[in-house]
Copies of this chain bind each other. A is one copy, B any other.
Amino acid sequence: MAKIRPVSGFPEWLPAQRLAELKILDQLRSAFETYGFAPIETRSIEPLSVLLKKGDDKEIYVLKRLHEPDQDGAQDGAESRNEKNRKNSEEGLGLHFDLTVPFARYVQEFQNELAFPFKRYQIQKVWRGERKQEGRYREFYQCDIDVIGVGQLPLYYDAEFARLLLEVMLKLPIPSICLKINNRKVLQGFYQGLGIQDPSAALRILDKLAKIGEQAVLQQLTDELSLPSATAEQCLRLAKIRGRDLSTLELVRDLGIQNPILEEGLSELEYVMNFNAEFMSSEDSYIEVDFSIARGLDYYTGTVYEGYMLGHEHIGAVCSGGRYDNLCDGGKQKMPGLGVSIGITRVLGYLFGHDLLEVKSASPVKVLVILNDEDGRLAAFNVAQKLRGRGIATDVYHMPQQFGKQMKAAEKRGIPYVCFIMDGSYQIKELATGMQSEVDLEIWQPKAEYLGISILRRF
């Protein structure tokens, strides 16, 4: 037998883990719908022209077809393969690396059939050819909520999204969250006020602060951008300001930089903070302003968010997002958008990998019908069908064996009950207690504690 190995970066869960993941995805769906978001999915591929416009720092997977259409089933010769690669790269399709860029394209394509502001949620896999590293996957789920408006999109949404995101995550079986917020206009205005000619380049360097440290950031700012060291130090001072009240805004103003875009950014931040006063002062999951948050080269133009699991910050952001005013091209009118994304695969991969989450049952089945003998298959099937018809997940043991062996199999799978067929009557036994009694299949119900999937937290 060929030994099969996992493919690096492409995680796969066991059934119990998938049950937990599904429960969490269901919680997200339900919360998103309750908050007024409609579901969509976009195709998994986009033309490279769409992907490269806004994602040129991402590792994109490009598709090519193994066979040419007119050579069905034939193996390619070495010579023709290069020619085919050339043709396929002209077609130019790649797997999407996030759900925001495809969403903006979807809205542009279907704008005559949608009602605006269009609020949607989208839960799909995305692909990135990332380097190997804990918490970095090449295939993973993103769970996104976004809104795109026509002409304008009130600042209200920037405030509401921070709150909805935190409320949704509080309900999940995951550690508490610190949601960091900033505003790109603060960074851009501050850099402009300092006379920096290429604010994007400065932003890209400052974004590495957590990874490379203060000295390396200062050096890159002075070496690569030829900034005077006083200017570089001002950038660093800004990046080090963070906190959970309005005084953080005063600390920025105290740095003495005058710029209208900076002021606009600070006043937007103030609105978002005031709206979320409750979470700004919360002791559990909370929001804080952090002027080091920049969201790399992404397409954001205003508010940006990055959320970390408290006590587990080293695995990086588990949710993020922001406002993008120019990603969706509405032609004559602007179509500003705002969105946040939850990286549930990164969270679960970490929690499963460190035994911080456990699911007791590897099966949704509540009752295993014991198979007496080969002739009893139809009777056992009919018992299962009766329970299934009433919505009780039921399975029939696959072959006649000693009852003890069949009961052990049920226990191993986390199935709480077995059902015996005895001369036309039915007995159900609860394995945890050993209690057994004759039942009426038309009315019997499992105990409430056995309904749903129970997830054990170890954090």
Contacts and interface: CB of A to CB of B under 8 A. Distances in A.
A372 to B, nearest CB: 14
How many chain copies? 2
B73 A66 contact: no
Interface stretch (A41-49, A220-228, A239-247, A349-357): A41-49
A362 B115 contact: yes
Given A6-B109, A45-B139, A59 B64 contact: no
A81 B62 CA distance: 13
A392 B362 CA distance: 32
Given A66-B94, A67-B129, A398-B149, A378 B275 contact: yes
Contacts of A10: 43-45
A331 B1 contact: yes
Given A41-B13, A42-B12, A73-B57, A36 B393 contact: yes
A136 to B, nearest CB: 12
A65 B138 CA distance: 11
B395 A36 contact: yes
Interface in A341-393: 362-365, 377-378, 381, 384, 388, 391-393
Contacts of A109: 4-6
Interface residues of A, number: 100
A108 interface: yes
Contacts of A30: 391
Interface in A10-25: 10-15, 18-19, 22
Contact of A56 (B73, B153, B399): B73
Interface in A105-136: 105-106, 108-110, 113-115, 117, 119-120, 125, 127, 129, 131
A448 interface: no
A413 interface: yes
A63 interface: yes
Contact of A38 (B15, B105, B160, B409): B15
A66 B93 CA distance: 11
Interface in A148-174: 149, 153-154, 156-157, 160
19 contacts: A4-B108, A7-B43, A14-B40, A14-B110, A15-B39, A18-B40, A33-B364, A33-B393, A34-B394, A35-B388, A36-B363, A38-B363, A61-B64, A62-B64, A62-B65, A65-B129, A67-B129, A115-B412, A154-B377
